[in-house]
Structure 1
Amino acid sequence: MTTCSLCGGACTGADLRALLDPCLTWLWRRVADRADALGDPDQSSGRMKINAPDTAAERYSARGLIGEAPLHPGQSRSVNLASLCTRLQIHGATLTPGAVAAHAVGRPLGTAVKERRAAKALARRRAQYGQELLADLPPTAPYRPDPNTCWQTLRSTNWEARVTKALEPEALLERAAAVLAALPTDHRVDRRVLAHTITGNPHALDRGTDLGGLVLAMLAGNIPRESRKGLRTAWAHLNVDCDTFTGGLISINMYPRGWRVPRPPLILTSSHLAKCTWRPPSERSPWIFITENPSVAAAALATGSPHRLVCTNGTPSTTALLALTRMCTAGWKLAVRADFDAAGLRHVNTLLQALPGAVPWRMNSTDYQDSVHPDPFQLDLLDVEALPETPWDPTLRQDMSVIGQPAYEEALIAVLCADLILGRPSSSRRAADHSEIHVGQREALDAVGAT
């Protein structure tokens, strides 16, 4: 037998026809309002105040249920719900005022209060789980906020409610604790590299994200007040660098003709790119590596390699693209790459078509599979229909369509830096396979990998 979805089965065997007369709807609505306010769907005890309806038919229809004394327009009366319940059970042995009211208004009663209580209980459990995660941070973690004090701060700043409303609250708390455990003590780390390491998404700690905001909220007590005024300064206090490179192109060891730069990197703005020219290659390596990602540029700079890398900061403008074309005209060989997503594939297609002699740099199917994060937080799915063709490796688009997950340049930073140290784009091998790397360069590369 199926339980009634409105009253939980209290109507079983009952005859509700007379009780659901339209002239009694006003009474059952009052019962329903009381049930919702108190979270009691039965309404079989206590007293309820009613105001008599305006029409004589509605007042007359209720006489047998709420007492024989006639009601007058505008009159108030206190109704004994236990007595009302007894009168209703003439029509059905298990009827209650709330059961009849649920059928009259067409919905279960008292659910709002239950839902609020359940939400509060869930919030308490998540708070306890968050406190346990903070208490379990390893002793080596540079910041170990007091669990109770930290959670009081999260509650007062509305972050507790925001965590509760998150799509995956427990996973959000786990990733926040993982970020706290991974914060560096004796070196600095790029925020996008840190985000990719923990979540598989280099933008998971960006401004406006739940994870980035939660981490900073948890560490509010560890960040000086003056450093909390700006997002960059707050992260900088935690040894985390935000995007410090801006401009049209970021150039490392590749400068326009006639320029002298004491030390890299060089930020080339659109006004410079519109008119600059490039000297031809005169050294043993004619390669220039092209990336879209400032994190790769920052890591490459840390290796101390003398070879050349240019970062487009995403898809290059027409002015930047023309400047890159002039590099090819000057005799340089360009190796280009981007993220493994629809925008990244379009980016590489554009560069390969526009730059004479340019080749893909670690952009084949094997590189993609090496880049896919094994356990991403809040998995992003590829829009397979939006993936452009990959004529340099037709299997790349096929494999991306099957796996269905984007992958980012941060995942390959170690091998990209190894290629840069060697001075030429390599086949799909991990950094550890590059036997030609000098010992000192290996130490620099290992330091990059450690970040």
Structure 2
Amino acid sequence: MPTALLKGAFSRGTLLSEWGRSDVGVEDDVRAVWGVEPLRGLWAQARDALEAAKPPETFRLELPDAETQRAVGELYGRPMWGQGTRISVSKLDEAVRRSRFALGLAEVLEILHERPLVRRQTAERDERRERTAGTLRAALAERGLATAAWAEPWTQWLQQYGRVGDDELPDVARRAAKALSALALAEPPEAWTSRSELAASVGGAHQLDNGTALSRVVLKAAALAHGAETPGNERERRALWERCGVTLDAVSATVLCWALPLVGSDDWSRGVRQRTALGLPTHLTHLDLRAAPSALVEAGTTIAVCENPRVLESAVEERIAHPVVCVSGHPTTVAVTLLQRLTDCGATLHYHGDFDWPGIGITRSLLTHHNARPWRMSAADYREALDQATATRTDLPNLVGTPLETPWDPQLAELMATTARAIEEEAVLPTLLSDLRTGLSTSST
């Protein structure tokens, strides 16, 4: 960082008295243009940098949404992508000086925050950080969460990027810990709740709406717990909530089905069967399942479960009568609910997914929680698909992520880790469709 910038930040004591108060109109303009929500994180981090005992050359800034990316990019002078970036303090100073206000970074911060810059002493900074950490750890300990693997990274994130004021922290920490104790953070959810019900349990039906501080800190903990990226848009937030067993509503999440042999004589069952007769799949919502009869299929019914919608689509196109349920990636709460309803009726599930680590994780979950049988998910099936790709000169994507064990066939995980190639369901589609035509059995797994 340029020495002049540091000297300018602290040599005059307070710029508000020597400069800022001389032109109230300019101050108001600065606040109107730059005192907006998408830029608050930038200004807070910039102040932390200038006031640090040892000011850094750069600081990391989180970009939680498209609006923040746009606003920071326009100010800083380059496009912003992804969930975060590093900001050069000197370049930020240059950027604000090039603006129509022609002010330095220190002057802008004093106007926006209405207080002078004061360099913190290391001891004071460490004391505040420890006080914050103590508040968070106590809240987590009260809910039995203090020893969770994600707890310490979450605490560090909240200290640096949480944007929660000292006066708000105890209440936010307490509410967040209570909400987190109700989420599925280690295992797939066994029960589900709506976001509004969860919010009401921690203080109000809108406490967890998008944009609230509580929603932001709870989702960050959930992302850390599941090893996922911090959600940056509504689709990603919805997927993370559902992964934790929380539904945002009863109509938007769906599970895709084809040719379910429903046994009911009621209008609901007839309606689903009519769609099959017309050659149409059915998207079931939570509301649909609430309206469905308790008995869906006969005991012993064999149902294929796939990860990729292309498998189900192909079965529909060829009018293959075998029932198929598609989870479309990580199962949503409504998908898990349907699978549980089917197994409760005595149906047998056969699951096939992508040969990648997320696909293996889904397979493990369905085998563990729904007694599903692996369908073409053995080491021999993986080897056959590799050989087929080689014969047809098909490029396979690299296998990335954290390896997982495959208890149903330990050699599969070893072979996948050795070859380091992922195989998507579409690559083995002809084999899967052949199985569906002839009917799944133990011999086809």
Same fold (TM over 0.5): no
Structure with greater helix share of residues: 2
Higher relative contact order (CA 8 A, sep 6+): 1
Q: TM-score, normalised by structure 2?
A: 0.37
Q: TM-score, normalised by structure 1?
A: 0.37
